[in-house]
Homo-oligomer: A and B are copies of this chain.
Amino acid sequence: MKRIAVLTSGGDAPGMNAAVRAVVRKAISEGMEVCGINRGYAGMVEGDIFPLDAKGVSNILSRGGTFLQSARYPEFAKLEGQLKGIEQLKKHGIEGVVVIGGDGSYHGAMRLTEHGFPAVGLPGTIDNDIVGTDYTIGFDTAVNTATDALDKIRDTSFSHGRTFVVEVMGRNAGDIALWSGIAAGADQIIIPEEPYDIKEVVANVKNGYLSKSKNHHLIVLAEGVMHGEAFAAKMKEAGDNSDLRVTNLGHILRGGAPTPRDRVIASWMGAHAVELLREGKGGLAIGIQNEKLVEHPILGSAEDGALFSLTEQGEIVVNNPHKARLDFAALNRDLSN
């Protein structure tokens, strides 16, 4: 390939810029040309496409968010949108595209693949819930931000002898809650992948105070379970009589300068995406498994390791969905005594 493009799609994640920079720099070092696409698939369909050079990405490595911007674009789920997008790519002489984002972005890449247009997916989301990879770009930064906030809240929690429920992002996956909870020494971590008993939660709080082993109590709650206020209400209903407060870390988890780990992973994956396209390979998603770069077919059969399969009715089946670290949930129970 002579000319490729790169876009970011879905929720922004720290390290997306580092990945874009790697795609651009690696492509140039391979003698290829590279274009940026603004606002994800929306910009692709609208033709909001522009050339990028090495200098154009020289200040973005350490910056949060995505300078290419992102946007939701449900129209790309329809055939018309897809064909229009591919037409625009061809008009700009683009032979392959790197898509950085989460599930929705991968679905878009899957459609490009269906139509025979070479696309390579990179997992970019703070939630760490993408199939085919142990780590996603942005996860490490989000865990750092969450842990930093939890450390701060612990100061107040201790000073006032309070119980805190702290809600962190994670609609389907408890990974941010688990990692930041262990890192901050949370007394309890509640995640969507594991059942909990509200009476036991309340009993744990009570026992901590009674045994004098704790003067405060920190509960980390993944958003996918329910909102913090609702969880606190359930606790009160179940008999909690501690001085209970709720904080929702909300959108601060999305932004910020990426951690070195996210920058390195993004750089590594971004460069590899170019290598695949250079060899003419598309329809693949890059991941990190066992600390090695891997690639899976985006679309195909489960036996072939494809991330998604289509049923005869055209429904998307997710093969091998991301699994929770239930061993980490157990670890925290041992350490929070």
Most chain B CB atoms below 10 A, which of A8, A250, A328: A250
User: Is the CB of A125 closer than 8 A to any CB of chain B?
Assistant: no
CB within 8 Å for A335 and B26 given contacts A66-B159, A143-B261, A247-B252: yes
A291 — which chain B residues lie within 8 A by C-beta?
134, 290-291
CB within 8 Å for A12 and B156 given contacts A54-B337, A179-B260, A335-B21: yes
Contact partner of A12 (CB less than 8 A), chosen from B145, B155, B245, B255, is: B155
Contact partner of A14 (CB less than 8 A), chosen from B64, B65, B155, B247, is: B155
CB distance from A204 to the nearest CB of B (A): 14
CB within 8 Å for A268 and B184 given contacts A145-B152, A255-B152: no
CB distance from A101 to the nearest CB of B (A): 11
A185 and B69 within 8 A (CB): no
User: Is the CB of A63 closer than 8 A to any CB of chain B?
Assistant: yes
Contact partner of A247 (CB less than 8 A), chosen from B70, B134, B250, B271, is: B250
Q: What are 29 A-B residue pairs whose CB atoms fall within 8 Å in the complex? A: A8-B159, A12-B159, A22-B335, A26-B334, A39-B161, A55-B213, A65-B154, A69-B160, A69-B161, A70-B160, A140-B260, A143-B261, A151-B257, A152-B254, A152-B255, A153-B251, A153-B252, A153-B255, A155-B256, A156-B254, A182-B260, A182-B264, A247-B250, A248-B250, A259-B259, A261-B261, A264-B328, A267-B331, A271-B331
